[in-house]
């Protein structure tokens, strides 16, 4: 239901966007800059996803420890995992398909929707195979002795022999992006600029990449998939949290005093776990601050701050700073304690909401300050109030959705949520003149 | 190890009355009765699929029964879940602790939810950590604990707040002999203080040796209940619980 709703939302949103873009085309226009930009971002976003998601599927499949004991050939298991990877990623093509449909329906020249649909599709199909080959090649390095290069790459972040695994999602992303850019270039000219002679090229190299990568990956899998998995399990063993131990104090813990006493233990539990598990959130906060700061000093006079800062804030909070799926899912929860301790649901929800709001609150403040710089005090207050409402809605909404989702489907719920946030933010941003 | 005294006048710590639970066509629990008095250690045993897990989930408030009632220290787990859970300590077979809290923080969280006064909570936590030899590891994250350490931490969490009833579901599994002896000693001490214990285990020797009563569950109902005298008689006659189990659960 959730996935279907998200798919419909994505389709409708992108189809509307396609129709709007088609309606705005100047008669006789041949550059189609707006459409190219949309297609580029759709291709990039799916490449971002597939680089890491394929890694997760190959190395962290939930049934890995069970299947590892079965007398299976590595190649058979690889086929099984790749079918899952394609099944998981193919729905991503709903977005470009919806956009292409919108263009077509609104009467854009037929080459344009074909280009909008084919570029992400070809890139996804070949990019997935490329990502699998990159991950398995990196995984194979676990079986050999460390080298000087790997020592350099590891940089004390991970053990030397795991260095290539650290970079394989980025390598997969880079490969998919290069493929995407080439596909974009040739398909655009072939389908919209009367260069039909170029049409075969992107299909040819995408097919070649697909086949070559799948064959290479299958060979590695056949030779060494299960030993790779065994070594990967070693690499996954949780290391000590920090060399100097867990810090005695947690920033923000003092805010517990503002809550009713029964809600405090839940607030502290969630605050500590989030802070320790998701240290990258603080980096995202800094990043948000930097982008907001840059916008504050470059915003033009005719652009009022609220339509700029609020979508940015919504995207950051909705994509990176929502904690509901982390706290309600198996990642940080203890179901038996949650179900058997004498807890009042109201207290637990309040404590959890408060802990989940800490980082979004910082983002709201940053956005409000940036809006004040850009547009004055009134703009700052508008962004502060609007941002607070937006952050509260997104945080509460994610918590509510996560509570409804099954624990073993939390990742699907989180993906659906993020797809909806991306679509909504995109639709809002693109609707700004 | 344990020779509890059953005070007849005190109300039971656990009173399960005619529990029934159906999952569509399957009747998992079919008229299950069980009473545990203060200071009594009762073993619950049954073949896989006998309905033990379902019964435990109902007793701990994780499932609702289709019929019947569970009273924990006089409080109905379905009607008064907060009061009943305040009197209950439970350690499940499959443990998941809050992975990014330290062992001590997990216990502090449980003590706070159980609304223990902070000085009492700190003293109880220190005592349990020392008893289970977890003092040194108390500031390490729970995700870094071994299976045995995690189980000892979970038992400590269940013992906080002096529950009237302690349900241990396969809780001696995964423990080395020393840890197992530590758990048994702590449980024996709690029994002497009047806590009732329900021990679910497939290790029949444990049940034979430790329990004051053993209940055999099959197809959702109790088909045999042996008290300490029965168990001693069986042992004297050279019979084992395993033979009884095999004979009655075909």
**Each residue's pLDDT expressed in tens, for chain B with a length of 250 residues:** 444 444 456 789 999 999 999 998 899 999 999 999 999 999 999 998 889 999 999 999 999 999 999 999 999 999 999 999 999 999 998 888 999 999 999 999 999 999 999 999 999 999 999 999 999 999 999 998 988 999 999 999 999 999 999 999 988 877 888 888 999 999 999 999 999 999 998 888 888 888 999 999 999 989 989 999 999 898 889 888 888 888 888 7
Q: Note the helical H segments in A193-320.
A: 200-236, 264-277, 280-298, 305-320
Backbone angles phi, psi at B53, to 5 degrees: -60, -40
Residue A124 has pLDDT above 50, yes or no: yes
Tell me the C-alpha distance between B207 and B225, whole Å. 12
ipTM of the complex: 0.88
Average pLDDT over residues A277-295: 87
Q: What pLDDT, on a 0 to 100 scale, did the predictor assign at position A100?
A: 93
Average pLDDT over residues A272-283: 88
- Banded pLDDT at A270 (limits 50, 70, 90): very high
Q: What pLDDT, on a 0 to 100 scale, did the predictor assign at position A151?
A: 67
Q: What share of chain B is helix, strand, coil (3-state, %, to 5)?
A: 40, 25, 35
Q: Are A176 and A42 in contact (CB under 8 A)?
A: no
Residues 6+ apart with CB under 8 A from A289: A366, A370
Residue A387 has pLDDT above 70, yes or no: yes
Q: Does B20 touch chain A (CB under 8 A)?
A: no
Q: Identify which of B90, B46, B94 has the alpha carbon closest to the alpha carbon of residue B70.
A: B90
Q: What pLDDT, on a 0 to 100 scale, did the predictor assign at position B3?
A: 46
Q: Which of the 8 DSSP states describes residue A239?
A: P
Q: What pLDDT, on a 0 to 100 scale, did the predictor assign at position A135?
A: 93
Residues 6+ apart with CB under 8 A from A224: A74, A140, A143
Q: What share of chain A is helix, strand, coil (3-state, %, to 5)?
A: 80, 0, 20
Task: Count CB neighbours of B204 within 10 A.
Answer: 17
Judging contacts by C-beta atoms under 8 Å, the chain A residues touching residue B90 are 336, 340
- Banded pLDDT at A284 (limits 50, 70, 90): confident
Which residue's structure tokens are 């701990």?
A: B60
8 Å CB contact of A265 and B109: yes
- Banded pLDDT at A304 (limits 50, 70, 90): low
Residue A176 has pLDDT above 90, yes or no: yes
Q: Which of B88, B108, B144 is closest, CB to CB, to A340? A: B88
- Banded pLDDT at A422 (limits 50, 70, 90): confident
Q: What pLDDT, on a 0 to 100 scale, did the predictor assign at position A274?
A: 93
Q: What pLDDT, on a 0 to 100 scale, did the predictor assign at position A129?
A: 96
In A, minimum Cα distance to B141 occurs at A241
Question: Rg of the Cα trace of chain B?
Answer: 18
Q: What pLDDT, on a 0 to 100 scale, did the predictor assign at position A6?
A: 66
Residue-wise pLDDT for A182-193, tens only, equals 999 999 999 888
Residue-wise pLDDT for A27-42, tens only, equals 666 668 888 888 998 9
Secondary structure of residue B33 in the 3-state scheme: strand
Residue A2 has pLDDT above 60, yes or no: no
In A, minimum Cα distance to B105 occurs at A269
Which residues numbered 243-262 in A keep a CB inside 8 Å of some CB on B? 245-246, 262
Q: Can you state the angle between helices A33-60 and A2-24, rounded to 10 degrees? A: 160
Q: What pLDDT, on a 0 to 100 scale, did the predictor assign at position A28?
A: 67
- Banded pLDDT at A416 (limits 50, 70, 90): confident
Q: What pLDDT, on a 0 to 100 scale, did the predictor assign at position A150?
A: 67
Tell me the C-alpha distance between A108 and A191, whole Å. 12
Residue A326 has pLDDT above 70, yes or no: yes
Which residues numbered 32-91 in B keep a CB inside 8 Å of some CB on A? 60-62, 81-83, 85-86, 88, 90
Residue A160 has pLDDT above 80, yes or no: no
Judging contacts by C-beta atoms under 8 Å, the chain B residues touching residue A331 are 99
* DSSP H or E segment with residue B34: strand B26-36
Considering only A169-173, A244-248, B192-196, which range has the smallest mean pLDDT? A244-248
Tell me the C-alpha distance between A178 and A202, whole Å. 12
Average pLDDT over residues A395-406: 92
| Range B130-135, long-range pairs (CB < 8 A, 24+ positions) | B131/B156, B131/B182, B131/B186, B132/B156, B132/B179, B132/B182, B132/B183, B132/B186, B133/B179, B133/B182, B134/B103
Q: What pLDDT, on a 0 to 100 scale, did the predictor assign at position A300?
A: 60
Q: Are B41 and B197 in contact (CB under 8 A)?
A: yes
C-alpha distances (whole Å) from A382 to each of A290, A368, A391, B32, B110 are: 20, 8, 14, 62, 42
C-alpha distances (whole Å) from A61 to each of A49, A66, A134 are: 16, 10, 17
Judging contacts by C-beta atoms under 8 Å, the chain B residues touching residue A268 are 109
Q: What pLDDT, on a 0 to 100 scale, did the predictor assign at position B27?
A: 92
């Amino acid at each position: 239901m959730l996935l279907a709703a998200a798919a419909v939302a994505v389709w409708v949103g992108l189809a509307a966007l396609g129709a709007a873009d088609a309606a705005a085309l100047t008669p006789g226009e041949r550059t189609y800059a707006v459409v190219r930009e949309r297609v580029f971002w759709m291709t990039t976003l799916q490449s971002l996803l597939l680089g890491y998601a394929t890694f997760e599927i190959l190395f962290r499949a939930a049934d890995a420890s069970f299947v590892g004991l079965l007398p299976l050939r590595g190649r058979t298991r690889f086929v099984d995992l790749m079918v899952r990877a394609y099944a998981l990623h193919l729905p991503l093509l709903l977005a470009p398909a919806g956009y292409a449909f919108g263009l077509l329906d609104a009467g854009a020249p037929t080459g344009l929707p074909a280009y909008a649909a084919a570029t992400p599709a070809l890139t996804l199909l070949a990019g997935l195979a490329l990502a699998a080959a990159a991950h398995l090649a990196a995984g194979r390095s676990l079986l050999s002795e460390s080298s000087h290069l790997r020592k350099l790459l590891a940089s004390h972040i991970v053990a030397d022999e795991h260095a290539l695994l650290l970079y394989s999602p980025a390598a997969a992303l880079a490969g998919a992006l290069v493929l995407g850019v080439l596909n974009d270039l040739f398909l655009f000219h072939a389908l919209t600029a009367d260069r039909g002679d170029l049409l075969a090229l992107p299909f040819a190299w995408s097919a070649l990449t697909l086949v070559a990568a799948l064959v290479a990956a299958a060979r590695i899998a056949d030779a060494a998939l299960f030993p790779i998995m065994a070594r990967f399990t070693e690499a996954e063993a949780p290391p000590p949290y920090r060399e100097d131990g867990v810090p005695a104090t947690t920033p923000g813990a003092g805010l517990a005093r503002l809550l009713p006493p029964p809600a405090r233990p839940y607030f502290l539990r969630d605050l500590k776990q989030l802070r320790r598990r998701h240290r990258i959130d603080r980096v995202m906060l800094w990043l948000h601050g930097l982008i907001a700061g840059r916008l504050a000093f470059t915003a033009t006079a005719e652009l009022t701050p609220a339509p700029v800062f609020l979508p940015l804030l919504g995207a950051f909070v909705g994509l990176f700073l929502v904690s509901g799926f982390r706290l309600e899912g198996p990642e940080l929860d203890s179901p038996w304690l949650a179900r058997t301790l004498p807890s009042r649901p109201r207290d637990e929800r309040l404590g959890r909401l408060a802990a989940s709001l800490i980082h979004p609150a910082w983002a709201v403040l940053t956005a409000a300050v940036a809006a004040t710089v850009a547009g004055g005090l009134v703009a700052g207050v508008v962004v502060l109030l609007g941002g607070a409402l937006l952050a509260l809605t997104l945080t509460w909404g994610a918590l509510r959705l996560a509570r409804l989702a099954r624990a073993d489907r939390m990742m699907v719920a989180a993906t659906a949520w993020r797809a909806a946030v991306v679509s909504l933010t995109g639709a809002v941003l693109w609707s700004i003149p | 190890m344990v020779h509890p005294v059953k005070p007849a006048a005190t109300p039971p710590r656990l009173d399960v009355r005619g529990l029934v639970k159906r999952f569509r066509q399957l009747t998992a629990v079919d008229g299950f009765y069980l009473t545990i008095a203060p200071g009594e250690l009762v073993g619950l045993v049954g073949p896989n699929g006998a309905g033990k897990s379902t019964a435990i989930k109902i007793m701990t408030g994780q499932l609702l029964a289709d019929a019947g009632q569970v009273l924990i220290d006089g409080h109905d787990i379905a009607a008064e879940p907060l009061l009943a859970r305040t009197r209950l300590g439970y350690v499940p077979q499959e443990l998941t602790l809050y992975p990014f809290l330290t062992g001590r923080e997990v216990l502090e969280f449980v003590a706070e939810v159980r609304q223990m006064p902070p000085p009492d909570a700190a003293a109880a936590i220190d005592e349990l950590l020392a008893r289970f030899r977890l003092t040194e590891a108390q500031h390490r994250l729970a995700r870094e604990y071994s299976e045995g350490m995690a189980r000892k931490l979970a038992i400590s969490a269940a013992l906080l707040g002096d529950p009237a009833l302690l349900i241990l579901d396969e809780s001696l599994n995964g423990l080395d002999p020393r840890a197992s002896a530590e758990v048994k000693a702590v449980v024996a001490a709690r029994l002497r203080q009047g806590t009732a214990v329900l021990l679910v285990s497939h290790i029949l020797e444990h049940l034979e040796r430790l329990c004051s009563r053993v209940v055999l569950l099959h197809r959702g109902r109790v088909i045999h209940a042996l008290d300490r005298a029965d168990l001693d008689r069986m042992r004297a006659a050279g019979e084992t619980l395993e033979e009884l189990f095999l004979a009655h659960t075909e």
